[in-house]
């Protein structure tokens, strides 16, 4: 039995940073990882996918060069081996950077292997047993594979495997019209593939307001992506070298199929029952406001706790636990204003409640909306699709949420995120003097246009 002050199971975007912090302060820690350091973000999420998005945007801008008076002779070609190689390098550099940093911490032991609980203080890995009074779980999540008829009998891609493609599909059919599926749909359309999105629900990005969903669909359709919603009866058949995808309203012959129907936590093989750790019906580990599980001395961080499936929320989990455990703080999960982005182009920046959610609270709300065609920066860049929307509480004057779908929306939204975190009443922002020409300069305009929701 090897004894440590803390054991970390999983090396995503929360546990390793807490482990490094504790090791730097003299705690003896063990970090267990079954595959790669960095978790989803580094290896199959943010870093490789946004590198691919950047390549796809370069192709898109090159095709539009004539709109800006730039002459490009000949068709725009795509070398997917170079595209993939660039994304791979981003991942490998980040992974190596983590390894180098951890190697420099003498009190931190990195073990590559599958950790599994034997009891609430003991974890087995690679045939040995480790024990510690504090254990942190940061095992992330993986793609959900639905039980559609015939799907198991055909080759399909997930968000993890598609990033390794080194060819442009003839016809990519994307199953799922949410964030992951939509990003890959636009990306591969810009690489030159025919793309069809099939969504079982009534609209794309269903967690958003209807006007946001409609605008997203318009952006994608304008680039030649076929979108089919309310598609039931999905089934799959191998058709030679291709795949026949059938719904109750039609069929599509695909060269490649991407299944992007959600993610599930990697908690089913950790032996959680041996430690008495509680999970919900979907397998997410249940935690309190300080990210503690129901078992004293065990915490769950990142995607596996179901409180945000983003790199920034995972890192904030680390910050909360580090503040409370090491700095004498009293930070709470419930204090977090959840922001996120959908990285289609133009992107969607989001924070807080949607207009629909705000209405459902029954409180008096104010709403303001401005099309990007009225935003000078968007006009100057020739990218005017989308809009900016703000929702506020009429009584408390607190901003409840915002949706910025448009050029630089993922950056401009931070003005609202900061105000919400600081609990700044919206009138205080109306008299700011933002820089022109920017997208953010229209935040005071949005505030001045707030009106009671009809």
**Cβ atoms of 434 and 440 closer than 8 Å:** yes
Asked if pLDDT for residue 245 goes beyond 90, the answer is yes
Question: Who contacts 296 (Cβ-Cβ below 8 Å, separation ≥6)?
Answer: none
Rg of the chain taking only CA atoms, in angstroms: 24
Q: How confident is the model at residue 326 (pLDDT cuts 50, 70, 90)?
A: very high
436 in catalytic set: yes
Task: Determine, yes or no, domain membership for 322.
Answer: yes
| Residue 184 belongs to domain with CATH number | 3.50.50.60
Q: Where are the beta strands (DSSP E) in 96-200?
A: 108-112, 116-119, 122-125, 128-131, 134-137, 141-143, 171-175, 194-198
Angle (CA) 246 243 237, round 5°: 60
In a domain, 219, yes or no: yes
Is residue 243 in some structural domain?
yes
In whole angstroms, give the CA distance from residue 235 to residue 148. 6
Q: Any idea what DSSP says for residue 279?
A: B
pLDDT (tens digit, 9 = 90+) per residue, 157-183? 999 999 999 999 999 999 999 999 999
Whether 113 and 199 share a structural domain: no
For residue 122, which phi and psi values (nearest 5 degrees)?
A: -130, 130
End-of-domain residue from the set 290, 312, 335: 335
Residue 84, domain extent? 2-142+264-335
Which among 356, 353, 350 has a CA at the least distance from the CA of 211?
Answer: 356
Percent of the chain with pLDDT over 90: 98
Residue reference for tokens 């490649």? 256
Instruction: Give dist(CA 51, CA 57) in Å, integer.
Output: 10
CA distances from 255 to 47, 78, 237 (A): 26, 18, 12
- CB of 29 closer than 8 Å to CB of 6: yes
Predicted confidence (pLDDT) at residue 285 exceeds the cutoff of 90 = yes
Name the 3-class secondary structure at 413.
coil
Which pLDDT band holds residue 210 (cuts at 50, 70, 90)?
very high
In a domain, 406, yes or no: yes
12 token code pair = 């995503």
Same domain, 159 and 287: no
Active-site annotation holder among 171, 228, 307, 436: 436
> Where a domain ends, among 307, 335, 363?
335
Residues 134 and 278 occupy one common structural domain: yes
Mean residue pLDDT across the chain = 97
**Are residues 76 and 224 part of one domain?**
no
pTM score of the predicted model: 0.96
Tokens in use for 37? 């350091």
Cα-Cα-Cα-Cα dihedral sign, residues 149, 152, 154, 155: positive
Local structure of 381: helix, strand or coil:
helix
* Domain match, 42 and 133 both: yes
**pLDDT score at 167:** 97
Q: Is position 341 within any domain?
A: no
Per-residue pLDDT for 454 more than 90? no
Rounded distance, CA 77 to CA 63, Å? 10
Dump pLDDT digits (tens) for 267-277.
999 999 999 99
Q: Residue 299: inside a domain, yes or no?
A: yes
Examine the domain organization and report whether 293 and 400 are in the same domain: no
22 and 128 in a single domain? The answer is yes
Please, are residues 160 and 142 in contact by the beta-carbon 8 Å criterion?
yes
Give the domain-ending residue among 278, 312, 335. Answer: 335
Residues 327, 351 within the same domain: no
Mean pLDDT calculated for residue range 425-435 = 95
Average pLDDT for residues 1-14, to the nearest whole number? 97
Question: What pLDDT does residue 309 have?
Answer: 87
In our burial notation (b when 16+ CB lie closer than 10 A, e otherwise), range 230-252 reads: ebeebebeeeeebbbbbbeeeeb
Q: Which residues contact 172 (CB under 8 A, 6 or more apart)?
A: 184, 185, 188, 193, 194, 195, 196, 254, 255, 256, 257, 258
Query: What is the spatial distance between Cα 426 and Cα 393, in angstroms, rounded to a whole number?
Result: 9
User: What's the Cα-to-Cα distance from 419 to each of 199, 276, 399, 429, 442, rounded to whole Å?
Assistant: 35, 40, 8, 8, 15
The whole-number average pLDDT for the span 243-249 is 96
**Between the CA of residue 74 and those of 63, 71, 77, what are the distances in Å?**
10, 10, 9
Residues 67-88, mean pLDDT to the nearest whole number:
95
Rounded to whole angstroms, how far apart are CA atoms 97 and 93? 6
Distance CA 4, CA 347 (A): 44
pLDDT at position 184: 98
Asked if the model's pLDDT at residue 187 lies above 90, the reply is: yes
CA distances from 86 to 47, 50, 91, 371 (A): 11, 11, 9, 35
3-state DSSP assignment of residue 280 = coil
Average of per-residue pLDDT across 227-235: 97
Q: Is residue 251 part of a domain?
A: yes
pLDDT for 256 equals 98
Q: Do 277 and 246 share a domain, yes or no?
A: no
Nearest to 36 by CA among 140, 118, 161, 179: 140
C-beta separation of 131 from 1 below 8 A: yes
For the chain, the domain total comes to: 3
* Closest alpha carbon to 87 in 35, 159, 139: 159
């Amino acid at each position: 039995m090897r004894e440590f002050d803390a054991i970390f199971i999983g090396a995503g975007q929360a546990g390793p940073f807490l482990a490094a912090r504790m090791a730097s302060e003299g705690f003896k820690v063990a970090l267990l990882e079954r595959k790669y350091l960095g978790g989803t973000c580094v290896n199959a999420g943010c870093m490789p996918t946004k590198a691919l998005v950047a390549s796809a945007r370069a192709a898109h801008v090159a095709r539009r060069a004539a709109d800006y008076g730039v002459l490009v002779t000949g068709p725009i070609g795509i070398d997917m081996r170079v595209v993939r190689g660039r994304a791979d390098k981003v991942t490998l550099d980040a992974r190596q950077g983590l390894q180098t940093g951890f190697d420099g911490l003498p009190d931190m032991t990195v073990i590559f292997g599958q950790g599994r609980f034997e009891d609430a203080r003991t974890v087995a890995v690679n045939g040995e047993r480790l024990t510690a009074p504090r254990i942190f779980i940061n095992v992330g999540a993986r793609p959900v594979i639905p039980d559609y008829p015939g799907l198991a009998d055909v080759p399909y891609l997930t968000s993890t495997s598609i990033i390794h493609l080194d060819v442009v599909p003839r016809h990519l059919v994307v199953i799922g019209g949410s964030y992951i599926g939509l990003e890959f749909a636009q990306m591969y359309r810009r690489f030159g593939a025919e793309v069809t999105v099939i969504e079982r629900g009534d609209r794309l990005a269903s967690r958003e307001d209807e006007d946001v969903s409609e605008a997203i669909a318009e952006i994608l359709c304008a680039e030649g992506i076929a979108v089919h919603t309310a598609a039931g009866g999905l089934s799959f058949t191998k058709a030679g070298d291709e795949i026949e995808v059938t719904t109750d309203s039609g069929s599509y012959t695909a060269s490649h199929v991407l299944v992007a129907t959600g993610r599930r936590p990697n908690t089913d093989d950790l032996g959680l029952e041996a430690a008495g750790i509680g999970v919900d019906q979907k397998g997410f580990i249940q935690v309190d406001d300080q990210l503690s599980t129901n078992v004293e001395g065990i915490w769950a961080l990142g995607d596996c706790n179901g409180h945000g499936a983003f790199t920034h929320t995972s890192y904030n989990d680390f910050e909360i636990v580090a503040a409370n455990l090491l700095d004498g703080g009293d930070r709470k999960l419930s204090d977090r204003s959840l922001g996120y982005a959908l990285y289609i182009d133009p992107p969607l920046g989001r924070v807080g409640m949607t207009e629909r959610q705000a209405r459902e609270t029954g409180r008096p709300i104010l709403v303001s909306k401005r099309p990007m065609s009225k935003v000078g920066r968007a006009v100057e860049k020739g990218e005017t699709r989308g809009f900016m929307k703000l929702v506020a509480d009429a009584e408390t004057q607190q901003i409840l949420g915002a949706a910025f779908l448009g050029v630089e929306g993922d950056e401009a939204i931070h003005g609202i995120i900061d105000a919400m975190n600081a609990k700044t009443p919206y009138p205080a922002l109306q008299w700011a003097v933002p820089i022109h020409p920017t997208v953010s300069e229209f935040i005071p305009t949005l505030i001045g246009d707030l009106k009671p929701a009809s």
